[in-house]
Amino acid sequence: MAETTNGGAAPLLPTDRRTTLPLTAMMAVMCYLAALTLALSIMLSETAADWSRGLSGTATVQLMPAESKVIDEHIQKTLEILRATPGIASARLVSEAETRSLLEPWLGTLSGVDDLPMPRLIAIAFDPGTVVDTNALGERVSAAVPGAMLDTHQAWRETLSGFAGALAWFAYGVLALIAAAAAGAVIFATRAGLLTHQEIVEVLHFVGARDSFIASEFQRRFLILGLEAGVLGAVFAAITLFVGEIATGAMATNTGANYLPALSPGLGGYLSLVLVPAMAALIAMLTARVTVLAALGRMP
């Protein structure tokens, strides 16, 4: 192998970190964006799943406003039907105060709201593992109580499921674009390194050095570079998520928007950030290796 004046092996890539700092910084930004995308997609998907699970075992009967005596009869008749239905664990009347609190995020605390005629709600909880014919149940309730409607939250669950699926595919697309951009940056830097050390590479290739040996010199350097960039990006992403979690929690408390879900990455979201340095290092290493081997394969 070519020797330097001090008898040491001449490196194929410069050891001065200033030459690789711009690429490291650029890849760190990409890793930061990838980490945020990954954590936010997991966070929102888990939130949607929690909502869906919370709605899957419940239903609601809505009774239209009526005179006090009439509505009391409707409530009693509906509760009798529900409590006599196999598979229903509980059926309880939602108080007027609870109903107002549910409407408050949309109606606010305007004066005169208490005087508005409001429907009465009956919350139903199904026995876990029990299948109830909700269509037949809704028909029985509607036939016995005029204007009564059974809501199984099916539309909400389908909407949430579709939202979670679309979000996952969107996140995959963003991550793929970031990975492609990172690979492109590594290809450019690898080719620049080959041009800078063209004479050394040609001599090694001429004297019979294996292409895999030459490629290993490049891939080792880019493995370290990708790992460093991934760690930086993941750390800053974790800090951003932590600060954002605290800020949104304080905002929800100060504005009274406690009905909103807590957008917290959770343990799974933070642990997912560990994947970012590993994937960044793998992409950088493999891209550099393939680029060098392709370039060496074109040499005579």
Please determine, for residue 196, whether its predicted confidence score (pLDDT) is greater than 50.
yes
Q: Give the residue ranges of DSSP H helices in 65-210.
A: 68-83, 96-107, 134-144, 154-196, 198-206
Whether residue 281 sits in one domain with residue 166: yes
Q: Is residue 5 part of a domain?
A: no
- Write down the pLDDT at residue 260: 52
- Domains of the chain: total: 2
Q: Is residue 100 part of a domain?
A: yes
Whether residue 280 sits in one domain with residue 212: yes
- Write down the pLDDT at residue 11: 52
Whether residue 288 sits in one domain with residue 165: yes
Whether residue 167 sits in one domain with residue 109: no
Single out the residue in 127, 147, 167 at which a domain terminates: 147
Whether residue 284 sits in one domain with residue 251: yes
Whether residue 210 sits in one domain with residue 275: yes
Amino acid at site 173: G
Single out the residue in 147, 182, 217 at which a domain terminates: 147
Q: What is the pLDDT of residues 42-76, one digit of tens each?
A: 887 777 777 776 667 788 898 888 777 788 888 89
Per the structure, the complete domain to which residue 107 belongs is given by 65-147
Single out the residue in 125, 147, 169 at which a domain terminates: 147
Cβ neighbours of residue 48 closer than 8 Å, sequence gap 6 or more? 160, 161, 163, 164, 167
Nearest to 186 by CA among 38, 15, 9, 31: 31
Q: Which of 95-99, 119-123, 214-218, 296-300 has the lowest mean pLDDT?
A: 296-300
Q: How confident is the model at residue 244 (pLDDT cuts 50, 70, 90)?
A: confident
Q: State mean pLDDT over 67-91.
A: 87
Q: What is the pLDDT of residues 91-133, one digit of tens each?
A: 898 887 777 777 666 555 555 556 667 788 898 888 887 788 8
Amino acid at site 196: T
Whether residue 203 sits in one domain with residue 79: no
Q: Is residue 28 part of a domain?
A: yes
